Structure 1
Amino acid sequence: MRIGELSARTGVSRRLLRYYEEQGLLVSTRSPSGQRHYGEEHVERVRLVREFLAAGLSSGTIAEMVPCMAEPSVAGARRALKIMNRERARLAAARDALAAAGSALDRLIETNEKYLAERGSRP
């Protein structure tokens, strides 16, 4: 498929897809005329890249994991697992911090709602 179809299927702009290629997150083949061509597997790759970026992984970190997504090797898998475990731990810590902040916010909301209710006032 060409870049326009990949863009349509993933909801990612052509410009951003070209940026992903520049960063090493996607690799296309080229036609004799220089047009980019992508396989069906690139739809899933773009989805994964979007999820990883949304979770806070840098494009550099994702690029380190790309080889294990496309063509796994023993050395690549070991290196990628190290990176993935590090990122999973970072995401778990961020998730725990968000949960703690949410609980603290819930307590403050409850305290303020109670305070206003005791004074016959509405929020």
Structure 2
Amino acid sequence: MKIGELAERTGIPPRMLRYYEEQGLLVSERSANGYRSYDEADVERATRARGLVQAGLTTRLAKVVLDVERQCAMAQPTCSRELAEMLATELAALDERLACLTKSRDAVAEYLALTRNGDLLRAVGAA
């Protein structure tokens, strides 16, 4: 599929898809006329890349995570000590961010629950 179709299927603008490719998050095949060509696996990878970046990971780290996920699908994934240390550090940072987000979410939910608009909690599944 061409970049326009990938953009349509993922909801990611073509310009962002090109950026993901520049950063190594996506790899496209090039046809004789230079057009990018993507396959079905790229739909999932692009969507996953966007999610990781939106969650606060750098594109460099998002690439590492995507590559690790691909390796986990293999029977015997490999991981250097340096990569393991980097991932452990990032895991700790993600845990801190999750704790902060959870605290913020709980504060907002508590505030809403105390107002006359508490019914909105059920509408967003935060009850």
Unaligned runs of 5+ in 2: 116-127
* Aligned match of 2:16: 16
Rounded Cα–Cα distance in structure 2 between residues aligned with 1:42 and 1:61: 18
* Aligned match of 1:63: 63
Bigger Rg, structure 1 or 2: 1
Distance 1:102-1:67 versus aligned 2 partners, 3 A rule = closer
Rounded Cα–Cα distance in structure 2 between residues aligned with 1:103 and 1:31: 51
* Aligned match of 1:49: 49
Rounded Cα–Cα distance in structure 1 between residues aligned with 2:68 and 2:105: 36
CA contact (8 A) 1:68 1:77 kept: no
Cα shift at 1:85? 4.2
* Aligned match of 2:101: 98
Q: Percent identity?
A: 36
Residue correspondences, number:
110
**TM-score between both structures, scaled by the size of structure 1:** 0.70
**TM-score between both structures, scaled by the size of structure 2:** 0.68
CA contact (8 A) 2:49 2:66 kept: no
Distance 1:10-1:74 versus aligned 2 partners, 3 A rule = same
Distance 1:44-1:81 versus aligned 2 partners, 3 A rule = farther
Deviant stretches of 4+, over 6 Å: none
